[in-house]
Structure formats: C-alpha cells, structure tokens
Amino acid sequence: MKYPAIIISAIATIAMFLVSNANAQAPSEQDIIKALTKPPVTSNEFSSTRSLTDQRGVSVTEGEEKIPSIDLKVNFEFDSDNLENEAILTLHTLGRALTNEKLENQYFEVIGHTDAAGSYEYNDGLSQRRAAAVVRFLVLNFSLDSSLISSRGMGERQLLDEFDPENEINRRVEIRNVTMTQ
C-alpha cells in the first residue's frame, strides 16, 4: 500500500513541475520597464570611468556601465522575418512598455540574434531582417517615434549557449536602452 502513495506523490510533483514550466511567461510590461530603466546615479557613487592604482602600481580601470537591456523570445516563421502569433503577443507587451512614461523620449536599439545553424553571412542577414520586422511592428502599432528606435542584426556572434550553438535559446531579440550612448 505504500507504493501507490509514493507513486501519487511523484505524479503530483511532476505535474506541479510541468504546470509551473507551462505557466512560465514572457516578461510582463513592468518587467520590461524595470530592465530598460537606468538606475539613478547618486552623488556618492564613482563614475564608471575611474581608474584605481594599488600600492604595487597595478592599475585597474572599471569597464563601462552595463546598458539596460532585455532578451525576449520573439518567434518567427521558419527561415523568415514573418512574426508568429505568440511573437505578436510578446511585442504588444513590449510596445506598451516602450510607450510608458518611464521610458518616454528614450533611445532603443532592437538587436536580432540567431543560432549557428546556417552560414555566418545568412544568419547576419536573417537577424537584421527580424530585428527590422520588430521595429516596424512597434512603430506601426504603437506610434513609436522611428527616430528613437533602430535595428541591428548580430547573427550568431553573441550566443547565449556557446556549448550548444544551435540551441533555440540563441534565437532571440534583444532590446537595449541606448539613451546614454547617443
């Protein structure tokens, strides 16, 4: 009689895992706003370009500050820049976030990324076309100022999973707030 209870418990655990993974959603509008908002710099913080020298004469220069960005899974039809229905839902959330007053008058860059299937040149072109499709969608559907948003393709140059270059996780669209770099 113990086995059925163990089996039921195992099935319940697996079911909860599957449900939690099935409910894993794209980022919310607030998640996107938070990721794309630059944190305020307080007066007691050092600038990001400071250089420190220790007692041995070793100089350490801090790198530039991280540009606020978020990766979104935006699905396209196979070998195409046509948006799938699920992508449209994600882009509606992104569009609402980009038109929020907290991100008003900010400059954004949409960067397309591919996996490593296909040639390097082909992936560059595909990633650019897909990033441009996202920008077109946002400008047309959310009346974004086209001078405040640009697109660029990175192809397979910045893989999220370098150990599995053809993994779907590498296929994504990155949104960067590049306001401070303008």
Q: What is the pLDDT of residues 11-26, one digit of tens each?
A: 544 444 443 343 456 7
- The pLDDT of residue 180 is 79
Question: Which domain covers residue 168, as residue numbers?
Answer: 67-182
Mean pLDDT of the chain: 80
Element (H, E) at 172: strand 172-177
Question: Does residue 7 belong to any structural domain of this protein?
Answer: no
The CATH number that applies at residue 137 is 3.30.1330.60
Task: Give the whole-angstrom CA distance, residue 179 versus residue 182.
Answer: 6
Report the percent of the chain where pLDDT is more than 70.
Answer: 71
Crossing angle for the helix pair 85-98 and 120-142, nearest 10 degrees? 60
Lowest mean pLDDT among 46-60, 66-80, 136-150: 46-60
Question: Does residue 98 belong to any structural domain of this protein?
Answer: yes
Q: At residue 167, does pLDDT exceed 60? A: yes
- The pLDDT of residue 78 is 79
The pTM of the full predicted model, rounded to 2 decimals, is: 0.73
Q: At residue 147, does pLDDT exceed 70? A: yes
Question: Does residue 32 belong to any structural domain of this protein?
Answer: no
Number of domains composing the chain: 1
Q: What does DSSP say about strands 108-113 and 149-155: parallel, antiparallel, or unpaired?
A: parallel
Q: What is the pLDDT of residues 80-103, one digit of tens each?
A: 899 999 999 999 999 999 999 999
Write the burial class of residue 148 (CB in 10 Å: 0-12 exposed, 13-18 middle, 19+ buried). middle
Q: What is the pLDDT of residues 30-58, one digit of tens each?
A: 999 999 997 655 444 444 444 444 443 44
Mean pLDDT of 63-68: 71
Question: Does residue 6 belong to any structural domain of this protein?
Answer: no
- The pLDDT of residue 100 is 96
Question: Does residue 122 belong to any structural domain of this protein?
Answer: yes
Question: Does residue 35 belong to any structural domain of this protein?
Answer: no
Question: Does residue 181 belong to any structural domain of this protein?
Answer: yes
- The pLDDT of residue 76 is 87
Within 10 Å of residue 5's Cβ, how many Cβ atoms? 9
76-91 residues labelled b (16+ CB within 10 A) or e (exposed):
beeeebebeeebeebb
Question: Does residue 123 belong to any structural domain of this protein?
Answer: yes
pLDDT: which is higher, 4 or 45: 4
Please, are residues 130 and 116 in contact by the beta-carbon 8 Å criterion? no
Closest by CA position to 159, among listed 119, 125, 113, 118: 113
